[in-house]
Amino acid sequence: MARNKKTHRDSGPSASPRQLRVGELVRHAIADMLARGDVHDPVIERHMITIPEVRVTADLRMATIYVMPLGGKDAEDVVAAFERHKKFLRGEIAHRVNLKFAPDIRFRVDERFEEAERIEKLLRSPEVKRDLEHGDDE
């Protein structure tokens, strides 16, 4: 008898409350470290960085931390700097977040702002405005 297994393990629309809570705890821990200047790296110190979201897998073993430097400049360099300090950050998360196991962490650029801007430009384009005006006539 075959069982249905979820292949996508990151938290998403169907994330459990525990996943969401742990993600927020990790997000607050990282944001606090950045605000205090605990991460000593010239790339990180040079940028204002936001942590808009942390997604945690269902088993709480992996946390994907989405980062975005203010203005979106040097995003890949910022992610690389976080990757260099991954061991330190994971240890600090383990001390700050009370879990049985500290999750492995990975960093990704948050691309939601770029996607929202792309959609906004599409909606303001003359072709879409024309189509919307013709849709009202029908």
Total H helices, total E strands in the chain: 6, 3
Residue 128 lies in a domain: no
Global pTM? 0.74
Alpha carbon separation from 105 to 15, 17, 46, 54 (Å, rounded): 18, 20, 22, 10
What is the span of the domain harbouring residue 71?
17-110
Helix (H) or strand (E) holding 31: helix 17-36
pLDDT at position 135: 59
Residue 4 in any domain: the answer is no
Strand order across the beta sheet in which 62-69 lies: 49-56, 62-69, 104-109
**Average pLDDT of adjacent 10-residue blocks, the chain of 138 residues:** 44 79 95 93 91 94 93 87 95 90 92 77 80 65
- pLDDT of the residue at 137: 52
pLDDT at site 61: 93
Residue 93, SS3 per DSSP? helix
In a domain, 135, yes or no: no
Report the pLDDT value the prediction gives residue 9, as an integer from 0 to 100: 43
Q: Is residue 115, in this structure, part of any structural domain at all?
A: no
- Domain presence at residue 118: no
The reply to whether 12 falls in a domain is no
Inside any domain, residue 77: yes
Q: Residue 48 contacts by C-beta under 8 Å, 6 or more apart in sequence?
A: 69, 70
Residue 84 sits in a domain whose CATH number is 3.30.300.20
State the total domains in the chain: 1
| pLDDT at residue 91, rounded to an integer | 93
Does residue 127 fall inside a structural domain?
A: no
DSSP state string for 78-89:
HHHHHHHTHHHH
